[in-house]
A and B are shown apart, each in its own frame.
Chain A
Amino acid sequence: MGHHPVDILRFNTCGSVDDGKSTLIGRLLYDSKSLMEDQIEALERSADITGGGQINLANLTDGLRAEREQGITIDVAYRYFATPRRKFIIADTPGHVQYTRNMVTGASAANLSIVLIDARLGVIEQSRRHTCIASLLRIPHLVVAVNKMDLVDWSEARFIEICDQFNEFLPRLDIKDVKFIPMSALNGDNLVEPSVHTPWYVGPTLLGHLETVHIASDWNLNGFRFPVQWVNRPNNPTDRHLHDFRGFSGQIAGGIVRVGQKVMALPGGQITTVKEIWTLDGPLQEAFCPQSVTLVLEHDIDISRGNMIIGLDQLPGTGMDLHAQVCWMHPRPLQRGKKYFLKHTSNTVQAMVTEIDHRINMATLVPEPAPAELVLNDIGEIRIRTAKPLVYDGYATNRLTGSFILIEQGTNATVAAGMLLPSEQLVRPESGDYVI
């Protein structure tokens, strides 16, 4: 059919106000011919009314009235486009200091982050903060878009200077793949088509890079992890084969599972065998992350939502005392001794913050020990005690089984995004009492 993207790349854009994020996205959509006539018409209409006749590509993504009035982006906006090679999901995340939580929201599921830098200003605190968040969230790929190069006369020296500024603090972070691209989002240089102004730049255009960056290994295929979301038990089935059907439904959060494989159900610790991998499209012999399936097990074990079924190699950690990095997302500060709900995979438990080890100074990226509290947009390391043991991996090993959110009791506000450090204690398969 010719319209078959082979996979999905999720990316987010971040930068300071006026770095031109929305312009960059608008330009990508425009130049890749993903914009429709009525959208362009609407742009022209608002240009006549508010823009003095000048078409503003940022109006494409700034969807809310307050944003158009104030000329800023106040929430995460999602945009979609596809080329014959890939489908793209863009999270446009705002650069305002007070909206950093939205960047975490937009970036958490991303394969790639674009950090925009104004070539005139170079690397500023916001650039450091955004890069630091991308590193904390373990986003596998980073693009440093050195924008507004037209305003520095397409100076290669300036470009190299900014790359050097960036490379200065990069070793302190955990980012493996970084690409620097000189561009002008407003004029479309090096976005879709190579720019005539940068003969000294031999790398790909932004879209060229987005289309080809290798993301197949971004999913974790080591260590089978299956958080149970829902127990599948048909009531009064007309099909006699289904009378005793008892399946466990969920999305594979890591690794591969095969029929006949030994698995363990946690927290119970019972070991059994996978009898069937049920899907509406027929049974599978094996399934892998991130497929959604229903597992039927050999033995009748008590398993419910919030439990985890795991493979016997590469065991996860377990415990009630957690050590984690958090991004605080609420105006009410995090305080020691306060109780929250903690949602981890499909499991929600009560939890108490017992210690605040440090908060990261975003200007220097240096941890400052023992702060009294973490406030909105702070990133720090904390200790948590949960009411029940959690089964988890370090976030660096598995983003899905190593992440959690904290929910404030009473208001139910989501107040923190958490990334777990590896547990010192692993699940022990030889606790043979439970083996069936």
Chain B
Amino acid sequence: MSSYHLDHLQHLESEAIHVMREVAGEFERPALLFSGGKDSICLLRLAEKAFRPAEIPMPFLNIETGHEFPELIDFRDRRAKQLGAKLIIRTVDAAIARGDAIPKPGVVSRNQLQTPVLLGAIEEFKFDCCIGGARRDEEKARAKERFFSFRDGFGQWDPKNQRPEIWNLYNARLNQGENMRVFPLSNWTEMDVWEYIRKEKLEVPTIYFSHERDCFRRGGQWLPEPPAHADATKPDPYAGARPTEKEPIKRLVVRVRTIADMISTGMIESKVHSFDDIISEIAAARVTERGSRADDKASEAAMEDRKKAGYF
């Protein structure tokens, strides 16, 4: 009996592979959301496990805010190439230029502007399903999310009217214009993700490990100093996100625990150089991963409101 036993990571892996194959079997034009962050790194390995030796039967899609860590972009492009996958990138910049996304006056973060760009990409490529790396342990509103999360013609999530999900039978049927978000990592925790990355020996962007960086203090967090404003003929994309005189720059040894973009990611002071170090640090952590995300602190229902509007 004991040899027919799966440990918790093997269980989660098998469940996620099953979900990915249901996507391939049920949808005509799926896409996989790949940002280069740790969760979507796991998604890519799971896609390999689900579909090899064949090709991964869907393109990768990334929505750029324009404030990304350069290390993340490099990694994303390299990894997609290694896997021989098609990588589609749509940017908030282009959407603003077209008038599809309109920044709120005084708001520098483009977090919320990703939503119209994502919905635009879904429409442009007629995607009927997007696989994402969201986990239920991240946030309270996410805890109510299904594996197969139905979105109406406007991309909206209606938490009170979700399809019941019973056993491992996922109802993937859609009418014209509707689409599905699918979350194979629903049952994974932050710890599971890192244990899986360690077990599979997956490469991650270097910013997950400790490095020296110029930071400044704002809103109780260490934020990275944005890159210099290179092209003076254009408006500064980081206007408002640069440190003021009252926010002195400090050189610190830091890393990221979760990655949004440079504006909404708090750096944590840390000295970790290996996956073992990261796992020990998370095990001892006294705040959640999202505790360092400025985008979630807006209000108690910040995530719920963004999800209803069609966020990832």
Nearest-Cβ distance from residue B184 to partner chain A, whole angstroms = 11
Do A38 and B160 touch (CB < 8 A)? no
Query: In the assembly, what is the distance between CA of A8 and CA of B173, in Å?
Result: 30
A7-B11, A39-B288, A65-B301 are contacts. A414–B163 as well, Cβ < 8 Å? Answer: yes
Question: In the complex, how many residues of chain A place their beta carbon closer than 8 angstroms to a beta carbon of chain B?
Answer: 84
Within 8 A of B (CB), among A261-293: 278-281, 288, 290-292
- Tell me the nearest residue of chain A to B162, going by C-beta: A75
Stretch at the interface among B1-9, B65-73, B204-212: B1-9
- Tell me the nearest residue of chain B to A87, going by C-beta: B8
A217 at the interface (CB under 8 A from B): yes
Within 8 A of A (CB), among B38-64: 48-55
Do B285 and A292 touch (CB < 8 A)? no
Query: In the assembly, what is the distance between CA of A186 and CA of B13, in Å?
Result: 36
Contacts of A237 in B (CB 8 A): 53
Mask, B136-162, CB within 8 Å of A = 1, is 110111111000000000000001101
Do A104 and B5 touch (CB < 8 A)? no
- Tell me the nearest residue of chain A to B161, going by C-beta: A413
Partner of B166, one of A8, A66, A345, A403: A403
Query: In the assembly, what is the distance between CA of A49 and CA of B190, in Å?
Result: 30
Query: In the assembly, what is the distance between CA of A6 and CA of B195, in Å?
Result: 13
Partner of B11, one of A1, A3, A290: A290
Partner of A242, one of B5, B53, B165: B53
B89 at the interface (CB under 8 A from A): no
Contacts of A239 in B (CB 8 A): 53
Mask, B18-56, CB within 8 Å of A = 1, is 100110110000000000000000000000111111110
A232 at the interface (CB under 8 A from B): yes
Within 8 A of B (CB), among A391-436: 399-400, 403-405, 407, 412-414, 417
B235 at the interface (CB under 8 A from A): no
Tally inter-chain residue pairs, CB-CB below 8 A: 197
B112 at the interface (CB under 8 A from A): no
Nearest-Cβ distance from residue A395 to partner chain B, whole angstroms = 10
Nearest-Cβ distance from residue A370 to partner chain B, whole angstroms = 26
B279 at the interface (CB under 8 A from A): yes
Nearest-Cβ distance from residue A83 to partner chain B, whole angstroms = 12
Contacts of A65 in B (CB 8 A): 300-301, 304
Nearest-Cβ distance from residue A205 to partner chain B, whole angstroms = 22
Query: In the assembly, what is the distance between CA of A216 and CA of B11, in Å?
Result: 13
Do B53 and A221 touch (CB < 8 A)? no
Contacts of A279 in B (CB 8 A): 49
B111 at the interface (CB under 8 A from A): no
Do B173 and A412 touch (CB < 8 A)? yes
Do B144 and A404 touch (CB < 8 A)? no
Contacts of A343 in B (CB 8 A): 169, 171
- Tell me the nearest residue of chain A to B288, going by C-beta: A36
A105-B164, A234-B55, A417-B164 are contacts. A407–B171 as well, Cβ < 8 Å? Answer: yes
Partner of B285, one of A36, A102, A250, A400: A36
Query: In the assembly, what is the distance between CA of A346 and CA of B21, in Å?
Result: 10
Query: In the assembly, what is the distance between CA of A149 and CA of B210, in Å?
Result: 50
Query: In the assembly, what is the distance between CA of A102 and CA of B144, in Å?
Result: 11
A37-B287, A412-B175 are contacts. A292–B50 as well, Cβ < 8 Å? Answer: yes
Do A229 and B21 touch (CB < 8 A)? yes
B174 at the interface (CB under 8 A from A): yes
- Tell me the nearest residue of chain A to B283, going by C-beta: A3
Contacts of A250 in B (CB 8 A): 18, 21
A235 at the interface (CB under 8 A from B): yes
Do B163 and A413 touch (CB < 8 A)? yes
Contacts of B162 in A (CB 8 A): 75
Within 8 A of B (CB), among A332-370: 341, 343-346
Query: In the assembly, what is the distance between CA of A331 and CA of B171, in Å?
Result: 18
Query: In the assembly, what is the distance between CA of A230 and CA of B227, in Å?
Result: 46
B191 at the interface (CB under 8 A from A): yes
Nearest-Cβ distance from residue B188 to partner chain A, whole angstroms = 8
A135 at the interface (CB under 8 A from B): no
Do B8 and A7 touch (CB < 8 A)? yes
A77-B144, A80-B137, A216-B1 are contacts. A108–B301 as well, Cβ < 8 Å? Answer: no
Q: Which 4 A-B pairs have the closest CB atoms?
A: A63-B140, A292-B17, A38-B291, A412-B173
9 inter-chain pairs at a CB distance below 8 angstroms, sorted by A residue, are: A3-B279, A63-B141, A65-B301, A75-B160, A78-B143, A249-B21, A251-B14, A291-B14, A292-B49
Report A's interface with B, CB cutoff 8 A: 1-8, 36-39, 42, 45-46, 60-66, 68, 74-80, 82, 86-87, 89, 101-102, 104-105, 108-109, 216-217, 219, 221, 229-230, 232-235, 237, 239, 242, 245, 247, 249-251, 256, 278-281, 288, 290-292, 305, 329, 341, 343-346, 399-400, 403-405, 407, 412-414, 417
Known: A7-B7, A291-B14. 13 other contacts (CB 8 A): A3-B191, A36-B291, A63-B304, A74-B159, A104-B164, A109-B167, A216-B5, A234-B53, A249-B51, A251-B14, A305-B25, A407-B173, A412-B175
Report B's interface with A, CB cutoff 8 A: 1-2, 4-8, 10-15, 17-18, 21-22, 24-25, 48-55, 136-137, 139-144, 159-160, 162-169, 171, 173-175, 186-187, 189, 191-192, 195, 276, 279-280, 283, 285-288, 290-291, 300-301, 304
